[in-house]
């Protein structure tokens, strides 16, 4: 318990240092652009793949569960839509992103720590907590909500592909479902989740890398911890956000 | 001039530095020598704040380095260049981008001025034309020279070198040593070099501080080393029977 609080304290200190005035805006901007590219382009395929398949499975599963029940078939479109928007796209995408982006960031920063790159920058006078962390957080907060929105779209598309051509329900029913009971507020929830998760997974992963010690074993551990703790934080945040925003 | 006053450093149970006071002079190559694990790196990093000393203070000319605010700390650090034991070149950047990094981060020079400065530094370390190479394409000695070029790009007043010739052959070591020494004299830099290389000690040891068991065991210069009667120093520098015979011959002792 004590170690938890000492880590948490150090995490907050790192974050406070991370958001201080850049030495040179241009250098931070270049770094942010590089990260946006890495996160956005680099993770698009995996997020798309997961979204299409989860959407597809969801529609087939609901079709199966609704068989022989009095619930109208077009509900499948409605359920797939809201499942994607509220839970699947933000939460599942970000759990996947923690595995890809988070472990990557922890390994990158941790490697720089071990090879004394961070020390070298510090001696030059660079605020490394800021230069190495802030651009990553900013890039993630911009890119991840976009990925999540795309994921929602692709999840619904996956649901359509899996159910309409296989005649589980008609095109008309699916579209009718998509248009029923639409609550714009749910899209708001989706973006809130995406932004919070993006912040959590990047800052936690950067923290794991920034304070790494030792050698390649510790680096591997930091990378794993980045994923595990990001996932835990995302799931906790999911629960809290859901309670706060739906009550 | 850098002055360390009574620096101590403890890691958990282990007291690595037990109160060290040293004066490092400007325009001289100041050597910190000692066995592997003696605490040379910890001492060097304590001087620049990469390691927080447990107690003691450090002075950069008339600035008390301990307890500086963020901006003052940066102001001092911008006058410090450091060469790391493993060179610490950014491996995803080219040689040119590595050397230009401090310029990009801290100056408002235009592209032409920056590339002139980079080329000057590369020329100074005899690596003209290596601009587009990546660190992984260079030999250890060349990486060290790029490290030196990056350390001097902002015209430092203080230069720190952590084992500049570890992992280099004797010939290359001497080239690196001479390079550091001439840059030091040219620009009147306060240079501090960690080493356990006996060639460096005898060639460029203007001031030598021998660290042993966390204490400053001996200090002097290269000409005083031979004649010193300090047993620890003698057994550290003249470690092999071969070197001991050479020493005895040089001093005209019976062999
Ligand atoms: N961050 C650290 N945590 C714990 N112990 C350390 C740390 N850095 C150095 N030490 C210990 O301090 C001692 C001196 O290390 P160092 O200064 O690297 O020696 P050297 O003289 O070879 O450069 C070693 O025993 C090392 O184990
Ligand atoms: Mg060392």
> What residue ranges do the domains of chain A occupy?
23-246
Do B72 and B193 reside in the same domain of the chain?
yes
Per-residue pLDDT of B91-121, as tens digits, reads: 999 999 999 999 999 999 999 999 999 999 9
Do B43 and B137 reside in the same domain of the chain?
no
Place of tokens 């510790």: A218
Residue of A nearest to B158 (CA): A123
Closest-lying ligand 1 atom to the alpha carbon of residue B39: 17
Length of chain B: 255
Per-residue pLDDT of B24-73, as tens digits, reads: 999 999 999 999 999 999 999 999 999 999 999 999 999 999 889 888 99
Place of tokens 């020279």: B145
Residue A2 pLDDT: 80
Q: Residue B248 above 80 pLDDT?
A: yes
Do B137 and B203 reside in the same domain of the chain?
no
Q: State the average pLDDT for chain A.
A: 94
Do B141 and B167 reside in the same domain of the chain?
no
Do B161 and B75 reside in the same domain of the chain?
yes
- % chain B with pLDDT above 70: 100
Could you tell me which residues are beta bridge partners of residue B61? none
Q: Which of A20, A116, A126 minimises the CB distance to B84? A: A116
- Interatomic CA distance for residues B19 and A165, integer angstroms: 79
- Interatomic CA distance for residues A127 and A122, integer angstroms: 6
Do B170 and B148 reside in the same domain of the chain?
no
A117 and B106: CB-CB below 8 Å?
Answer: no
**Looking at the domain assignment, is residue B205 inside a domain?**
yes
B105 and A115: CB-CB below 8 Å?
Answer: no
**Local structure of A70: helix, strand or coil:** coil
Proximal ligand: closest to the CA of B32: 1
- In this structure, the residues whose C-beta lies within 6 A of any atom of ligand 1 are B 11, 16, 34, 36-42
**Looking at the domain assignment, is residue B175 inside a domain?**
yes
Q: Which of A26, A27, A123 minimises the CB distance to B50? A: A123
Per-residue pLDDT of B197-206, as tens digits, reads: 888 998 999 9
∠ at Cα B38 (A217, B24), nearest 5°?
Answer: 120
Q: Whose CA is nearest to atom 6 of ligand 1?
A: B11
Place of tokens 């074993």: A217
Do B203 and B173 reside in the same domain of the chain?
yes
Domain count, chain B: 2
Pick from B137, B155, B173: which residue ends a domain?
B155
Span A43-50, mean pLDDT? 95
B90 and A122: CB-CB below 8 Å?
Answer: no
- Interatomic CA distance for residues B204 and A28, integer angstroms: 41
Q: Which of B48, B88, B154 minimises the CB distance to A115? A: B88
Residue A67 pLDDT: 81
Do B150 and B160 reside in the same domain of the chain?
no
Pick from B120, B139, B155: which residue ends a domain?
B155
Residue B167's CATH number: 3.40.50.300
In which domain, by residue range, is B35 found?
Answer: 2-79+156-250
| pLDDT tier for residue A1 given thresholds of 50, 70 and 90 | confident
**Torsion angles phi and psi, residue A105, rounded to 5:** -65, -45
What ipTM was predicted for this assembly?
0.91
Span A115-143, mean pLDDT? 96
Residue B199 pLDDT: 87
**Looking at the domain assignment, is residue B145 inside a domain?**
yes
Do B187 and B238 reside in the same domain of the chain?
yes
Question: What is the token pair recorded at B189?
Answer: 């830099």
**Looking at the domain assignment, is residue B255 inside a domain?**
no
A contacts of B104 (beta carbons < 8 Å): 24, 26-27
Residue A168 pLDDT: 84
Q: Rounded to whole angstroms, what are the CA distances from B147 to A169, B85, B153, B176? A: 67, 10, 10, 11
Query: Could you tell me the sign of the dihedral formed by the alpha carbons of A143, A146, A147, A148, in that order?
Result: positive
- Interatomic CA distance for residues A185 and A190, integer angstroms: 9
Per-residue pLDDT of A217-247, as tens digits, reads: 999 999 999 999 999 999 999 999 999 998 8
A120 and B86: CB-CB below 8 Å?
Answer: no
Do B73 and B43 reside in the same domain of the chain?
yes
Smallest Cα distance from B160 to chain A, Å: 10
pTM of the model: 0.91
Span A146-151, mean pLDDT? 96
* Among the listed residues A133, A59, A42, the one whose alpha carbon sits nearest the alpha carbon of residue A96: A42
Do B206 and B111 reside in the same domain of the chain?
no
∠ at Cα B90 (B89, B92), nearest 5°?
Answer: 135
Strand (E) or helix (H) holding A177: helix A171-179
Do B68 and B172 reside in the same domain of the chain?
yes
């Amino acid at each position: 318990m004590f170690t938890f609080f000492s880590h948490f304290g150090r995490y907050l200190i790192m974050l406070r240092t991370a958001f201080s005035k850049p030495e040179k805006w241009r250098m931070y901007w270049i770094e942010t652009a590089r990260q946006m590219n890495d996160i956005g382009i680099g993770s698009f395929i995996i997020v798309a793949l997961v979204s299409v398949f989860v959407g597809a499975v969801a529609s087939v599963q609901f079709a199966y569960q609704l068989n022989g029940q009095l619930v109208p078939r077009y509900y499948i479109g409605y359920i797939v839509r809201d499942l994607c928007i509220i839970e699947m796209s933000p939460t599942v995408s970000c759990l996947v992103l923690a595995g890809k982006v988070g472990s990557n960031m922890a390994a990158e920063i941790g490697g720089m720590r071990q090879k004394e790159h961070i020390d070298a920058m510090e001696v030059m006078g660079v605020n490394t907590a800021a230069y190495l962390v802030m651009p990553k957080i900013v890039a993630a907060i911009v890119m991840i909500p976009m990925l999540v929105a795309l994921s929602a779209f692709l999840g619904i598309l996956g649901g359509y592909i899996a159910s309409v051509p296989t005649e589980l329900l008609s095109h008309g029913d699916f579209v009718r479902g998509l248009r029923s009971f639409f609550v714009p507020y749910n899209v708001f929830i989706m973006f809130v989740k995406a932004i919070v998760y993006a912040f959590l997974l990047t800052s936690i992963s950067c923290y794991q890398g920034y304070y790494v010690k030792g050698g390649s074993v510790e680096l591997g551990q930091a990378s794993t911890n980045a994923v595990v703790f990001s996932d835990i934080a995302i799931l906790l945040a999911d629960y809290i956000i859901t309670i706060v925003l739906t009550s | 001039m850098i002055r360390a006053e009574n620096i101590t450093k403890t890691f958990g149970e282990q007291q690595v530095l037990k109160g060290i006071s040293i004066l490092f002079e400007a325009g001289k190559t100041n050597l910190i020598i000692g066995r592997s694990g003696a605490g040379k790196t910890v001492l060097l990093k304590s001087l620049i704040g990469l390691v927080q000393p447990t107690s003691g203070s450090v002075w950069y000319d008339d600035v008390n380095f301990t307890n500086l605010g963020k901006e003052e700390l940066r102001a001092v650090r911008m006058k410090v260049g450091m060469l790391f034991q493993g060179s610490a070149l950014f491996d995803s950047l080219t040689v040119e981008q590595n050397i230009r990094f401090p310029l990009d981060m801290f100056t408002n020079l235009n592209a032409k001025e920056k590339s002139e400065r980079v080329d000057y530094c590369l020329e100074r370390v005899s690596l003209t034309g290596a601009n587009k190479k990546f660190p992984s394409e260079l030999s250890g000695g060349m990486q060290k020279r790029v490290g030196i070029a990056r350390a001097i790009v902002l015209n430092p007043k203080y230069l720190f070198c952590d084992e500049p010739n570890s992992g280099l052959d004797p010939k290359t070591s001497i080239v690196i040593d001479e390079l550091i020494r001439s840059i030091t004299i040219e620009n009147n830099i306060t240079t501090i070099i960690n080493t356990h290389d006996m060639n460096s000690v005898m060639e460029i040891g203007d001031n030598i501080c021998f660290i042993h068991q966390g204490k400053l065991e001996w200090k002097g210069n290269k000409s005083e080393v031979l004649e010193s009667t300090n047993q620890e120093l003698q057994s550290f520098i003249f470690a092999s029977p071969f070197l001991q015979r050479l020493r005895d011959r040089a001093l005209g002792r019976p062999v």
